[in-house]
Amino acid sequence: MEAPNLFDQVNLTGEDAIRAAFAASDEYAVDDRSGPELLCLAVERLYDVAILAEGLRASTAILEDPTSWLLVEGVRELRDVGGEVLQLLLRALDTEARETGFAPDVWQRRALRTAAIALRGDERAPQRPDVGDATRAATVSVAAALRDGRLDRMAVPGHLSSAIGCAAALFMLASAVLERSDVR
């Protein structure tokens, strides 16, 4: 049985809603760490996000309702871990901006566009990404940022903005599903 695209659960997909998700992730703030430490922790937590997101996708295919009370605990964990990942990546982008002197605004706008594509789709993309695609893209982008951090510091913000956009979409998905669920 084919699961629906879970990003359809998110009704508010504009830039203001995505910025609000960035702000909401402040609740999951982490201790001060260096850029590479933030990225390593983000990769570690993205594995948890991948497992939780795939579990939600598979369970939704069976139950046909991501807001089912049977899934609430997993969705809550996805929201919490997703919020932590989003906050780690936002903090890593700020740290990178401070250390290299680039303006983070451009990269934050790119992150907004990436999140919007995951949530709404893009006319250039024949198929919207699903939660697995978003999780993989975030993980690959963080790994690329770690790799390029020693070789090409100016490539790091691009990788981080892609990862932030994907993480924001996943965080918004879990938040929207919890909002619509009967059990909070």
Structure confidence at residue 173 (pLDDT): 87
pLDDT band, very low/low/confident/very high, at 182 (cuts 50, 70, 90): low
Percent of the chain with pLDDT over 90: 21
Structure confidence at residue 84 (pLDDT): 92
User: For residues 86 and 97, is the Cβ–Cβ distance under 8 A?
Assistant: no
Structure confidence at residue 151 (pLDDT): 79
Locate the domains of the chain by residue range.
15-180
pTM for this prediction: 0.85
Find the mean pLDDT for residues 90-95. Answer: 88
The token duo for 83 is 């919020």
CA-closest candidate to residue 97, choices 26, 19, 167, 153: 153
Whether 7 shows a pLDDT value over 80: the answer reads no
Find the mean pLDDT for residues 107-112. Answer: 85
Find the mean pLDDT for residues 10-18. Answer: 73
Structure confidence at residue 139 (pLDDT): 94
Alpha carbons 31 and 33: distance in angstroms, whole number: 6
Structure confidence at residue 4 (pLDDT): 67
The token duo for 2 is 């084919």
Whether 67 shows a pLDDT value over 70: the answer reads yes
Backbone angles phi, psi at 14, to 5 degrees: -75, 175
Structure confidence at residue 83 (pLDDT): 92
Find the mean pLDDT for residues 51-59. Answer: 87
- Over the chain, what is the mean pLDDT? 82
Structure confidence at residue 127 (pLDDT): 67
Q: Poorest-confidence range of 10-14, 71-75, 146-150?
A: 10-14
Alpha carbons 111 and 105: distance in angstroms, whole number: 10
